[in-house]
Amino acid sequence: MKFQQIMILSIVALLLASFSPQSISQSPEGLNWTQPAFDLFNTGSNPQQIITNENVKNLELKWIYQAPERPAPIPGARMAFGTHAPPITVYGLLYFVSESNRLIALNTLNGEELWSFQYDPVQLALSENWSMLEAQHSISFFHDYIWMQTNDCNIYAFDPFNGEIKKEILNTCSDIPGNTGKYVGHYSPTFFETILITRVSAGGGGGRSFVAGYDEFNGRLLWRWFSIPPSGGDDNWDNENAAKGNIKPYPGDWGENDLIGGGSIFSLMAVDESTGIVYFPTSAPALSYDASLRPGPNLYTNSIVALDASTGKMIWYYQTTPHDINGHEPARSIILANATIDGEERKVIMASTKGDYAYILDATNGELLHEPISFGAQKINVYNSNKGNDADFLLSQEVIVDQTYCPGAFGGSSTISAFAENTLFVASQNYCTKFTKGQVIYKDQLINGYQIETTQEAQSSSVHAIDVSTGQIKWTFPIESRYQGGITVSSGVVYLVDISGTFYALDSETGEVLKKIPMNGAGNTAVTIASDANGDMRVFVATGGSKSGIIAALGLPQMDLPEDEGLSRRGIIGSLILTSIVGILYLLFVKYYRN
């Protein structure tokens, strides 16, 4: 190795010992928001202390950006309504992705568009593995790049300053063993060291869902973990790992048929860098076909799972609803945190389900630390939730055909939650559905199955603050419309944007409304809190309907800034400069390390 390389490596090693690209979001000021829910643990909690419960009432509009309209619709494709991916901010720039696979970078000072990338809709239309769903739920920042996964399962790393594609891992949904369905990729990858961890959803296409680990540098597949058995079934499916969780092995779990599908990883993932464990929830089995054809608990659907991030080997699981017929999966969010439980400090995993239950688990072994915590509206015609080995493993949807059940398959808790001050903040939709029997298209076949329909009951929501120490609900805030956006918490304030476009800032201790703003666009995601390029703290709100999205930047009036804001701003600008320098040095380090 040349002397110059040795010197560079030495300097970079010293810097990286105290500062790394992944730790940007953990700076004291909370100046960046680099992950969908702020950090690798998905807390949704920014430690900044500029905008607080004392001055949030003074927030005012700083600028608005109107995103371009989506490309022409793809014939036969379904598109999610509105913007579902939280914006991220780094280097004083803001990034967000639309449902039509368009990635956009903005100047945080004025909302000016700096660059954009539109994935070619023709490529989507030609994909043989795509389930015809256009939806994007996250982008992320790792190793000095912005990461995105297209709906047809291509992963790209972009230069944050000009949008140039720097890395790509393509066709991650192709040639999947045991698969007879289709997929949609709509979550950006996460990382453990240099292992890129990605996942896909069945997206209604009946695919065999999985999580996979890739070498970041050469794109080589390192491991793949499946949430469900192959099409046709597997007699030994539960034998190896069932004992690592709360369900006994069940001979013949899932049965033997070609309809097996579901188990999507339709959620954020949490990574514990100290232990090398990745955590995530899995969704329900496919509900389009008769559940009696899949006898057993249907492992590992409706589960909270811990894997070794280096090997993909299961460490533990906890199944919340065995043999689910209601669609009451844990979805969208999982949180890793240090919490006080009955006076004792514990590392915990927190998740909530569409069945309106919250789960607090020991992160090391999946042990349930509180009984499942019930919240939300009344539960009607609900089966197998929290039944464990006493669940009815032979149930069919026939028991509730044409009957209302609540929460419905699209209701309950299906948002990104947040955690701060030993409190879990969750939202619930009072949204009921029912099954109707008839012919449906599933795995590109016309089968006799079930469709899910919305009932006529009024739809509303509620947000709950749960004391993690005791498992008790501290307060509940009712919302007149549906709520499927995420939750953000910072400096004593809980931030919400409901489906009607109403922005709320609540006191985190009491649930009292501190600020309310009509945003005039559907709220489908969490707000982002970060500094702009001048070091001024901003609340970035993404809203929008079916055609385009809007990003609004809110901030305090100059006269309302804290007395020490000047010092804070200088510190923030210095941190932004340091971030850029370290990012460049990190790339040099990677280059020489690989050589």
pLDDT for the residue 260: 96
d(CA 244, CA 440): 36
Reported confidence tier of residue 33, pLDDT bands at 50, 70, 90: very high
Per DSSP, the three-state class of 293 is: helix
**Got the DSSP string for 570-584?**
HHHHHHHHHHHHHHH
d(CA 265, CA 509): 32
**How many CB atoms are located within 10 Å of the residue 12 CB?**
20
Work out the average pLDDT over 36-40.
97
- 204-216 CB burial, b ≥16 within 10 A, e <16: bbbbbbbbbbbeb
Q: What tokens does 406 get? A: 């609540």
8-state DSSP, 6: H
- Which residues are CB-neighbours of 559 under 8 A, at least 6 positions away? none
Terminal-to-terminal C-alpha distance of the chain: 9
Work out the average pLDDT over 339-352.
96
8-state DSSP, 568: H
d(CA 213, CA 383): 35
- Which residues are CB-neighbours of 315 under 8 A, at least 6 positions away? 244, 277, 306, 307, 308
pLDDT digits (tens, 9 = 90+) for 231-285: 999 999 988 899 999 999 999 999 999 999 999 999 999 999 999 999 999 999 9
The C-alpha angle 521, 202, 218, rounded to 5 degrees, equals 100
Strands 78-79, 133-134: pairing is: parallel
Q: What radius of gyration do the chain's Cα atoms show?
A: 23
pLDDT, mean over the chain: 90
pLDDT digits (tens, 9 = 90+) for 462-515: 999 999 999 999 999 999 999 988 999 999 999 999 999 999 999 999 999 999
Residue 46: which of 56, 271, 364, 305 has the closest Cα? 56
Q: What tokens does 277 get? A: 């464990």
**How many CB atoms are located within 10 Å of the residue 165 CB?**
12
Helix axes 3-18, 565-594, angle to 10 degrees: 140
pLDDT at residue 208 tops 60: yes
pLDDT digits (tens, 9 = 90+) for 41-100: 999 999 999 999 999 999 999 999 998 888 888 998 988 877 899 999 999 999 999 999
pLDDT for the residue 69: 84
Per DSSP, the three-state class of 238 is: coil
pLDDT for the residue 3: 39
Cis peptide before 593 (omega within 30 of 0): no
Reported confidence tier of residue 520, pLDDT bands at 50, 70, 90: confident
d(CA 246, CA 498): 36
Bridge partner residues of 439 (DSSP):
448
Q: How far is CA 238 from CA 106, 128, 283, 365, 489, in A?
A: 48, 31, 18, 18, 40
8-state DSSP, 74: P
Reported confidence tier of residue 558, pLDDT bands at 50, 70, 90: confident
Pick the CATH number of 31-562 from 2.40.50.140, 3.30.70.3340, 2.140.10.10, 3.30.1370.30: 2.140.10.10
Helices marked H in 328-485 — which ranges? none
Where do we find the tokens 């109107």? Answer: 66
- The one-letter amino acid code at 373 reads I
d(CA 577, CA 196): 27
d(CA 396, CA 99): 34
Secondary structure E strands in 282-393: 303-308, 314-319, 335-341, 344-352, 357-362, 373-374
User: Which of the pair, 548 or 309, is modelled with greater confidence?
Assistant: 309
pTM for this entry: 0.91
Residue 39: which of 102, 97, 86 has the closest Cα? 86
